[in-house]
Structure 1
Amino acid sequence: MFEGGVSNAEIARAVGVCAESVRRWRRVREQGGASALRRRAATGRPPKLDDTQVELVRAAWEQGAQAHGFEADLWTLERVGAVVTRATEVVSSGASVWRLLTGRLGWSLQRPERRAVERDEPEVARWIAHEGPRTKKGP
């Protein structure tokens, strides 16, 4: 469109952006050519853990929390951070651990059900069907 002599306003309408963006793109293209308009990789601080370290940590987590000396087989951010430090000698904040879990590994928050391990489901179903109605007030 730039080479065809199309105006900034027409390009903006066609692409769905404001005319100022098109003016900026035109200026960048004139100074650096079409390659200057290409998307660049995101800048910022590189991650503390490389891919090999992330795989070491993933393997450690898959062993379970109890395998790492915790009482219950339940992961918290603090526990995950401790395992990251043990496996890689890299200290991470809670926010960094959260980004590692949700971003790089694609995991999500899971909360355990609040039910007793000893719960007898068939007995609960029987009570609801037979005993429960008898305890309700009648007409």
Structure 2
Amino acid sequence: MTIRSTPPARPAGTALTVADAMEPYEYQIADDSTVDQANDIFHSAHVAYLIVRDHDGLCAGLVTRIGLRPFLARSWYTEHIPVRDTMHQRGPFAWSTMALDSAALAMRIKRLAVWPVIDDDGYLLGILTADRVTAMTAARAAA
């Protein structure tokens, strides 16, 4: 069960941070899992991307369903290729204390639809989506 609390109202003129816009994300896969295992998760969970974590549990990157397509073309690839060899997005990642305007700019420059948010030790805190950033910055500008 996920409980979300509403953050306290910010004083006027206070900049939004990534923490204000990030969302929790549950779907993760170990970097040594195979492409076949990732494909199974994509099909069963109906998600477009998975967060990849290393053997220590740290955020190692992100893999998309579209990014797996070349590896799925030949069945023997799916059983032998680890997910870490298919990741299209590796660090650096966003920090929760980063200004949301800076994160929005970085996402536009890198052409990212999703950006993992990590803590100081490299563990996943959540994700930042381009749609959420756009909505929050537009709402802030209108206020």
Same fold per TM (> 0.5)?
no
TM-score, normalised via structure 2 length:
0.22
Q: Which has the larger radius of gyration?
A: 1
Q: Using CA pairs under 8 Å that are at least 6 residues apart, name the structure with larger relative contact order, 1 or 2.
A: 2
More helix by share: 1
More strand by share: 2
